[in-house]
Structure 1
Amino acid sequence: MKKIPLLLIVLFCNCSLLFAQNFVSVKKPGRLSKEMSKADISSGVTKLQIEGVLNSEDLSYLSSLSSLETLDLTKVYFTQENSRHPFAQTKIYLSGFPSLLNLLLPEYQNDFCIEITNQALPKLAYLKMPSNASLITTYPTGRCYFQKLELTGEVIKTWDEDEKETQMIADTLIIPELKSLSCSAARYILPLKIISQKENKRILNRWSDSFSTSLLEHIDSISVGAFWKSEIETITIPSNIKVIPNLCFYECKKLKEINLGQIEEIGQLAFAETALEKITIPASITEIGDRAFNNSQIKQIVFQGQNAPQLYYINQYNKKDYNYDATHLYYNGGGADLSYWKSSDIFIPKGSRSNFSIGIWKEIALKEEGEQSEYNLTVEKAGTLANLLTDNIKSTATSLILTGFLYDTDLKCFEECTHLRLLDLSRTFISISPETLKDQQAERQFLANYLSFIADAAKQQSKDQYNQGNSNLVKHIGEQMEAMTLKELATTLSSEKVEVDSRCWIPSNAFYKLNNLQELRLPLQLASVPGIWNKSVKTIVLPPSLKNIQRYAFSGCESLQTINIPSTVNYIGEGAFKDCKSLKSLDLSNTSVENIFSETFKGTDALYEIRFPATLKSMRSVFSQSDLINKKERVKLYFKTREIPQYFVVDSKIELHIPKGSRAGWQKSNYTKHIIEE
């Protein structure tokens, strides 16, 4: 024998108790009061079930029953005043009903509309709404609130009198089956809890901070965004819940602790914008959605399972997609981003590294329980770093602190340290290697040979043109002398050897492939910063005696947030901070920089404050026009100069802060109303 769900039995019993008495049948519209008298039902009735045909006169009588608390109209048809056709009335007006708590509407076979006027049904708590009914309200807020709202079909549409949808807010929404939620107007119903009768499921649709967390023990699943912007601080997910859906705890700014119980899946953006600093991922979890912890305070993620979960994102077809670019931690096509994994300490169980060395997990810095991941190495002789970096260090190192001497070629060894997050070179001296010198000499010889070939060809062509009468003597002599000059330059390049630079230096692009790098500390004796060009690094520590920041030095450092410019810097090249999208402020006030070149700050989306030095003389195109258009507020520029720098063009999106009493020197500015004297 098939079991009947307990929930359905309870609902059936409740309805039976409600309507066990006070039944009246009305065969002709307008006769309700008379039929009630015949049935010996007084005007003080509290529970009433009606069957038959009613009109507006009958409704008016019902609305005047001041004691009526429960009204069942499921077997009623409404008609116009003088019509006997039950389907003639398509709009039913409800007003009055001062004590009505429970209302069950007719189950018509055609569409009809219910209008609840302002001040009507002030105590209504339970509404049973059939699938073919629509709701209009003249409530000032455009909302109807119910303790329980029950739908009896798959389709429901709601709107207000201006043809805008009416929000129906309910503590509990009762539906025939889960697929009823897919109807077009279900999005206008805002229930806290959902009960599906066919599947016997209870769903938490929207969390209220007035709830007790023990409520979750009686819930089967959680809806998308259920806890969005909740004030909840700590929560334990009971074992009966298996999925944390998309956006579940999104923007829960106070959420600091969560126990995931036996969760099997974490959805997209599930814990984004929260205060979580640490989270333990149970062994039961098999899938984690894109940006699950994006922009949270997460610093530590601990995996309890021996196997790596799958990482996915929802594509444009609303389906899970596991296709990604493991090198840069970006999904192909969808633009989904998993780079936030780089900024957290991620711990895995002892002996599980081989299980995590698959797919995208090979590119993420992982720490095995009890495993060393921080190393302090001394390099006594340049060119020997490769001998010190064992296979174990390469696979486990998240932090490397080096002391000693390096060649520029040694820096390539770091590319094999795929989990490296901190690289400290401050106590190293990096010089040019014999291999690099040999390559430079070969490049010089190639250039010399090329110039010599061009000189010989030009000389011969000039001679042929002159002999054929196509060139005069003066032109011929000039071309021959140019060819001789080019030949002499080729001879000089070929005979001279590349001079060894005794200064500490780093080649451009040396750190480009360190995809997990978070902090980089440059050598103390470094005088000039080359192109760093690393997308993941957040902090760069510059040497205190730095002189020169080369062209495009930090270009493309999209994650860079912290960098202090030493007072010794006197030159910043073109495009130096281009596309530093995470940099919020920059202080150059103590430097001796004289010129700011074009594209220096192009693409710095988050940069809203820059302080310039007193030595500044010229400044070209601080921001492009497109950069300024995308700025949500004015950029604050602080100057120490008493006159506007040469070539500087002010925009309405720029707020100038200048020395007190120097306004006269800034009169060339087109937007003087945004000038503030300090």
Structure 2
Amino acid sequence: MKKKFLSVLLALCMVAGTATASPEQMIVQAAEEDIVDPVGDDLRYGNYQYQVQQDGTVMITKYYDDETTSIVIPSEIDGKKVTRIWEYAFSSCSNLVSVSIPNSIDTIGESAFSSCKKLTNITIPNSIDTISRGAFSNCENLTNIVIPNSVKCIEKNAFSGCYSLTGITIPDSVTTIGNSAFSRCYKLEDIQISDATYDIGWEAFSATAWLSAAFDNDDPYIILNHVLIEVKGDKSITNFTIPDSVTSIAGAAFRGFNNLTTVTIPDSVKYIGDYAFNQCTSLTNVTIPDSVIGIGEFAFYSCDNLTNITIPASVMQIGDAAFYGTTWLDNEAKKSPFVVINNILIDGSTASGNVNIPNTVTYIAGHAFYENKNITSVTIPSTVTQIGAYAFNECGNLKSVTIPTSVTKIGAYAFSSSGLESVTIPASVTAVDEYAFSECPNLKNVVFLNPSTKFVYWRVFADSPNVSVSYGDQDQNTDNNSTKNNNNNGQKIIALSTIKSSVTSVTYTGKAQQPAVVITDTTGQTVDSSNYTLTYSNNKNVGQATVTATGIGNYTGTLTAVFNIVPKGTNLSKVTVKKKSFLAKWKKQSAQTSGYELQYATNAKFKGAKIKTVKKNKITSIAVKKLKSKKKYYVRVRTYKTVKINGKSMKLYSNWSKAKKVKVK
């Protein structure tokens, strides 16, 4: 998962208003992310499943007619305005050809229309400012996209795999295009894009006709609208001077250039993208010119020998872990427990005990205290306005934090896996990002002093089993961790205890899968489904999927169960016998597979069977030799995919095919 903080990229995605602004204005005007808690039960309206959100509007969570070819999404349901389309809501509509999205919709969730392979065109409503990650990915027949001037950010993989797309016009409002946004749009050759788009992620246009044509010219690099997209040739170059026509360095432009010892950045450059110089292990000195205002996440990460860096006062944002793994940062951390650059706290790895962050700090960058096991409490000064993603992640001994009324946003995973026991979120905080307080086993009392604080509940407290959330008085003093109003209206609170998935594995279908679960509470009683919400993750592709249950109403706690998604199987098409051997052939199954296993034995129950492994899913036959003449053999085949589960590589297998019996010559 990506460890993101409030970088220039995020600021651009969230900035309010419709007028095109300069990069400087985009950073200064960054607004809070608008995340709303789906607090209601799942309801039905025709084929639509929906939930009523905190603000009284409707979010569509699923559409239940996989055979439909045309959909007109309503602007109202039961008198309530429809404003959101949730993750994967229409992804199972494999026959969908056309869809009309009303202007009431302000958010289209992750992969909402992914794999709608028959969808031919789409008009994004002008109420949308961000096209979410994977929103229209793998829409193979999508030939026409209309993107309105309201859109400012196109997130990663938004249109990846749209094979039939030949042209795209990016309006002036768009400043950010995420990683792989248009990757694998093989026919895409006409890209109309304005100079306003300066933050382009890595591989944004990989495997497109446009990029192939750009490689065919004689230039040593590829520049799109003053953005340095890629440097051609191998990665053996030792020095490079960026042309003074470049205003932005795209994500991963120099990533892995291990022999690069010097790079000259001209004063025309305003933004250095995510991972731009990541793993440039031979770099020793870098001078960032006064023109640069933003440095993306992991920009110089793992530049092991980088010892001297000049960072000008013009830099207003420094990305998550931008300089981690450099000798420079290690040396700076030895000088002071707080490495502060232009009022941005980028590192507190050597701090310990009761920490008082300096009042010169205005922003705590992502990963600032990551994995610091030596801090026990943190007092954040009233100068700080935002806490970046992963800022205090894995701080296992951190028991308390004081969040001042100046803070407006808490980033994703900010306090995840910490030792926090209680926390008060001041009324000034209007947004809390996903998993901000997840996996906090000691966290019991959380008080939100602003009932309108927007967050996705199950994500914020995922796997924090003992947490109890209440809402206090906005006028209450917020610069402490009081839980004064945590009375839950006098109702008895019952904790969820166990969760069990109805299946241990399901077969890959290309669609999101949601097997049922059985949940019990601490009294041993089975909990009715009306008392919890279920959220599934990683539940589409082959691998280990997760289902998370979060108690609602009188039920509290978060439980997680897992189930495996195994690859789809195949069948033997033919087994040809030869002298003391046979040739087995099977049907190709390339979707979500790594290869095949062929099993053969001299008995129908396959006792003492032997296995041949084919490590490429493109190969659909194998010869088995040195067999016993005139002997009968039973043969079957299955697919497998190698995946990582809990950091370890393992194979997940399909069911075996029907066996064929052959007698070798």
Over alpha carbons, which structure has the higher Rg? Answer: 1
Structure of greater relative contact order (alpha carbons < 8 Å, 6+ residues apart): 2
Tell whether the structures are fold-level matches, with TM greater than 0.5.
no
Question: Which structure has greater strand proportion?
Answer: 2
Q: TM-score, normalised by structure 1?
A: 0.29
Q: TM-score, normalised by structure 2?
A: 0.30
Question: Which structure has greater helix proportion?
Answer: 1
